[in-house]
Amino acid sequence: MAATTIKDISNPDTYKGLYSFHKYWGKKPTESITFFIQNYTESTDIVLDPFLGSGLISRECLSKRRRFIGIDVNPHSIEHTNFLLDLPEASLFRDALKSIEINIKQKINDTYHTSDGKIGSHYLWSGKNLSKIWFKPEIGRSKVEIDPSRFDLENFNSFTQYKIRNIRDATFFTNSRINSSSQMSIYDLFTSRALHNIDLILDEIKLLPDTLKRAFLLTLTSSSGQMSSMVFAITNRGKTKQQTSNKIEVGSWVIGYWRPELHFEINVWNCFESRANKLYKALLNINTHKYLQHESINALLENKQGAAILNGDCLSIMKTIPEKTIKLICTDPPHGDRIPYLELSEMWNSILNEEVYFEREIVISNAKERNKKKDEYIRQMKLLISQSDRILTNDGMFLMYFNARDKQSWRFLEVLESSSDLKFVGTFPMEYSANSVVQDNRKGGLKTDCVLVFAKKEASIKFQQKLNKISGWSTSLPKANSASQSLIR
């Protein structure tokens, strides 16, 4: 594989294959990460990401024979990273999917039978009123659309008393930013029919060996958004060009727990099978080498290869790392209150039956019940920098992906003015490589992150001289951080 160049940083590729399999809000282009791993670390050096997110950096490190430590308070992040490091063979995945299909596809489709024996693929709801049913024709690709009958409503209502068996009770908070409420439950996000069918899938997944079980659980969480009642029915497409169409199209689940009045209920098996087939195709075109994983940091330190993927509070775990151990820290922490990752992942974690410790998350949350305020966030981010300073080698580097519009959210950088041996080297913009509904359409949505580069004092000048060819490179801190401009004077 060709080495990643400085030019690649400014021209990130779109997510495809394995890296596009699962939605995660914190995904960033891998080109900048790969460039620094290749050029500023050597074989067996240790790379740390204390906010692991989707975990894409783990494969980038281990494929280049760097050791890796990944930490995240989000259990889903840990599961996704473990999946990336222990992929199933494509043929085994295909065979397991076929077995699941034989056992439950008909059972699931029976729940979507119409009065004439057709299998509904999409149910269009306006509030609590079912208005249309779509199904696939025997010949051709165009959907067939019918009005619902009394039979269809009775079929749907037969599941209203259903109680979930394999999904734990979800915990939500009152957060207007993501349209959640503390009174909300998993039954508000899915129809009871969908939950019944998700339970059938989970019954089958539980019988699989661990590597396949994890892959199919993530297939399920990856497709769960399209199984939910949060799939927008798109109308009036083209209105901005005065070419309004009356056609209704299927949208997708976007950031948050928005339950639109006009929405689709989609056949659960179709969602699951579609996502499984996407993963199968990705597995056919990727090295499914199993990477060595260690259960603790000490075990990793005693070996010359592998990774330690740890679920928990990054500040507590970083305290256990010996001084001057880490060559590169590369991380994308929560950017103030932009995205409450853990709250948004609760739907997935409830399906995984993973316990979540919300109090340990470093974030600013609009949920009053959580009491996650800006001052505490800044204090914890300062501790993060101090711990990073302690564990970096004398020629170590720290990359932080960050952006915020308000000045106060940048105040954690003030710690660099005092006891820290870390020095600000420079920054460059990083455009997102995957288009985002939120980034594209939200008024004032940030289009880029700032990649902040820090290094130990004795190495900072050397790094600065090498990095000034990156497009947009600047030795000035971002303008939003006017409170800390003295750091670079």
Of the listed ranges 159-163, 206-210, 247-251, the one predicted with least confidence: 247-251
Same structural domain for residues 302 and 230?
A: no
Same domain, 196 and 58: no
End residue of a domain, out of 236, 252, 284:
284
**Given this model, what pLDDT does residue 479 score?**
61
Q: How many CA atoms lie within 13 A of 200 on its CB side?
A: 22
Q: Do 190 and 302 fall within a single domain?
A: no
**267 and 317 together in one domain:** no
pLDDT at 301 over 80: yes
What the block records as the tokens of 410 is 């940048």
Q: Does residue 1 form part of some domain?
A: no
Specify whether 232 is located in the same domain as 119.
yes
Neighbours of 87 (CB within 10 A): 22
Query: 244 falls in which pLDDT band (50, 70, 90)?
Result: low
Task: Return mean pLDDT, the chain.
Answer: 89
Beta strands in 320-443 (DSSP E): 326-331, 392-402, 422-431
* Residue 166, domain member (yes or no): yes
pLDDT band for 239, please (50, 70, 90 cuts): very low
Q: What is the pTM of this model?
A: 0.91
Would 123 be classed as within a structural domain? yes
| pLDDT confidence of residue 335 | 87
Kindly report, residue by residue over 59-106, the tens digit of the pLDDT: 999 999 999 999 999 999 999 999 999 999 999 999 999 999 999 999
Residue 448, SS3? strand
Identify the bridge partners of residue 448 per DSSP, sorted by sequence position.
Answer: 431
Which residue in this structure is represented by tokens 């799939």?
231
Domain boundary among 284, 310, 330: 284
Q: Please, what is the angle between helix 210-227 and helix 90-110, to 10°?
A: 40
At 436 the pLDDT is: 43
Strands (E), 41-87: 46-49, 67-72
Residues 234 and 156 in one domain: yes
Q: Residue 360 is part of which domain span?
A: 6-84+290-488
Please indicate, yes or no, whether residues 179 and 111 belong to a single structural domain of this protein.
Answer: yes
Q: How far apart are CA 204 and CA 194, in angstroms?
A: 16
Q: By percentage, how much of the chain surpasses pLDDT 70? A: 91
Cα(99)–Cα(248) distance, integer angstroms: 35
Q: Are residues 255 and 229 in the same domain?
A: yes
CATH code, domain carrying 438:
3.40.50.150
Q: For position 489, what pLDDT does the model report? A: 34
Residue 187 sits in the same domain as residue 112: yes
154 lies in the same domain as 276: yes
Alpha-carbon distances of 111 from 117, 119, 194, 228, 354, rounded to whole Å: 11, 9, 9, 16, 28
Dump pLDDT digits (tens) for 9-58.
777 776 778 888 888 776 677 888 899 999 999 999 999 999 999 999 99
Is pLDDT above 60 for 440? no
Indicate if 313 and 277 belong to the same structural domain: no
> In this structure, is residue 351 part of a structural domain?
yes
CA 249 – CA 234 distance, rounded (Å): 5
Residue recorded with tokens 């580069």 = 453
Q: Please state the rounded mean pLDDT for residues 365-386.
A: 95
At 139-191, the pLDDT tens digits run 777 789 999 999 999 999 999 999 999 999 999 999 999 999 999 999 999 99
Length of the chain: 489
Q: In what order do the strands lie in the sheet with 231-234?
A: 144-146, 129-135, 122-126, 262-266, 231-234, 249-250
Closest-CA residue to 324 (of 387, 407, 371): 387
Give how many domains the chain has, as a whole number: 2
Residue where the block lists tokens 């119409």: 114
pLDDT reading at 237 higher than 80 = no
- The per-residue pLDDT for 357 is 96
Q: Choose the final residue of a domain: 284, 318, 341.
A: 284
Residue 113 lies in a domain: yes
Between the two ends of the chain, the Cα-to-Cα distance in Å is 41
Asked whether residue 38 is assigned to any structural domain, the reply reads yes
My answer on whether 173 and 51 are in the same domain is no
487 pLDDT band (50/70/90 cuts)? very low
pLDDT at 279 over 90: yes
Of the ranges 35-39, 122-126, 428-432, which one carries the lowest mean pLDDT score?
A: 428-432
